[in-house]
Structure 1
Amino acid sequence: MTGDLPIQIRCAGDGPLVLLLHGFPDLSLGWHHQIEGLAQAGYYAVAPDMRGYGGTGGPPQAEAYSIFSLVGDLVALVEALGYRQAVVVGHDWGSAVAWHCALLRPDMFHAVMGMSVPFQPRRKQGPPTAVMNYLAAKNGEDPLYLAAFAAPDAHLAMDADPQTALRKMFWAFDGATPTEDQATGRIPAGRDMLALISDRASLPPWMAQDHFDQYVAAFRQTGFERAIHWYRKIDANWARTRWLQGCKITVPAAFLVGERDPVRNYTGHFESEQGEWLTDLHAVTVVPGAGHWVQQEQPLIVTQAILSFLWDLSLLQAA
Structure 2
Amino acid sequence: MSDQQSAPSQGATNEVSHRFVETNGIKMYFAEQGKGPLVVLLHGFPESWYSWRHQLPALAAAGYHAVAPDLRGYGQTDRPEAVGQYSQLHLVGDLFGLLDALGEEHAVVVGHDFGTQVAWNAALMRPERIHGVVALSVPYLPRGPVSALTGLGQALGPGFYMQYLQEPGVAEAELERDVRASLTRIFHWGFGDSPQAQAPTGPVVPAGGSLFDLMSEPAALPGWLTEADLEFYTAEFTRTGFAGGINWFRTIDLSWELMAPWQGAPMTPPALYIHGDRDGSVRLPGMDQLIPNLPYLVPNLTRTVALPGVGHWTQQEGPEEVNAELLRFLAGL
- Structure 1 and Structure 2 fold alike (TM over 0.5): yes
Say whether 1:156 aligns with 2:191. Answer: no
2:300 to 266, 273, 280: 280
Deviation of the 1:135 alpha carbon:
2.3
> What is the alpha-carbon distance in structure 1 between the residues aligned to residue 197 and residue 143 of structure 2?
32
- Shift of the alpha carbon at 1:295? 0.5
On the 8 A contact 2:203/2:214 being kept in 1, the answer is no
- After TM superposition, the score normalised by the length of structure 1 is 0.92
- Is residue 7–residue 48 contact of structure 1 (8 Å, CA) maintained in 2? yes
Task: Give aligned-pair identity as a percent.
Answer: 37
Tell me if the contact between 1:129 and 1:235 (Cα under 8 Å) persists in the aligned partners.
Answer: yes
Of residues 220, 226, 230 in structure 2, which corresponds to 1:208?
Answer: 226
Task: For residue 286 of structure 1, give the secondary structure of its aligned residue in structure 2.
Answer: strand
Q: Does residue 167 of structure 1 match 2:187?
A: no
TM-score by length of 2: 0.88
Q: Which residue of 2 aligns with 1:28?
A: 49
Q: Is the 8 A contact 2:39 2:67 kept in 1?
A: yes
Q: Is the 8 A contact 1:176 1:205 kept in 2?
A: no
| Unmatched tracts of structure 2, length 5 or more | 1-20
1:94-109 → structure 2 map (5 Å cutoff) = 94-109=115-130
2:204 paired residue number: 186
Q: CA 1:181 to 1:169, structure 2 compared with 1: closer, same or farther past 3 Å?
A: farther
Equivalent position of 2:163 in the other structure: 147
Instruction: Report how far residue 132 of structure 1 moved.
Output: 2.4
Give 5+ residue unaligned stretches, structure 1: 314-319
Q: Distance in 1 between matches of 2:196 and 2:27?
A: 40
Measure, in 1, the Cα distance between the counterparts of 2:35 and 2:147.
Answer: 43
CA positional deviation for 1:33: 0.7
Aligned ranges 1:1-319 → 2 under 5 Å: 1-3=21-23, 4-124=25-145, 126-137=146-157, 143-152=159-168, 153-178=170-195, 184-200=202-218, 202-266=220-284, 268-269=287-288, 270-313=290-333
Contact 1:2-1:73 at 8 Å conserved across structures: no
User: Following TM superposition, by how much is the alpha carbon of 1:178 offset from its aligned partner in structure 2, in angstroms?
Assistant: 4.5
Instruction: Tell me the SS of whatever aligns to 2:27.
Output: coil
Moved more, 239-248 or 222-231: 239-248
Structure 1 residue 26, shift from structure 2 partner: 0.7
Aligned residues: 308
The residue matched to 2:265 in structure 1 has which SS?
A: coil
Judged with a 3 Å threshold, the aligned counterparts in structure 2 of structure 1 residues 57 and 204 are, in CA distance, closer, same or farther, namely farther
Q: In 1, Cα distance between the equivalents of 2:127 and 2:115?
A: 17
> Residue type of the partner of 2:259?
T
1:272-297 deviation line (CA, Å, top 9, x unaligned): 22111101111111101000111111
For residues 223-272 of structure 1, give each alpha carbon's deviation from its aligned partner in whole angstroms, at most 9, with x where no partner exists. 00111000000011111111222222101111000010111121633212
Residues 81-121 of structure 1: CA distance to partner in whole angstroms, max 9, x if unpaired? 11110000000000111000100111112211101001001
Separation in structure 1 between the aligned mates of residue 113 and residue 41 of structure 2, nearest angstrom = 11
Moved over 6 A (4+): 180-183
Would you say the 8 A contact 2:198–2:280 is kept in 1? no
The alignment yields a C-alpha RMSD, in angstroms, of: 1.7
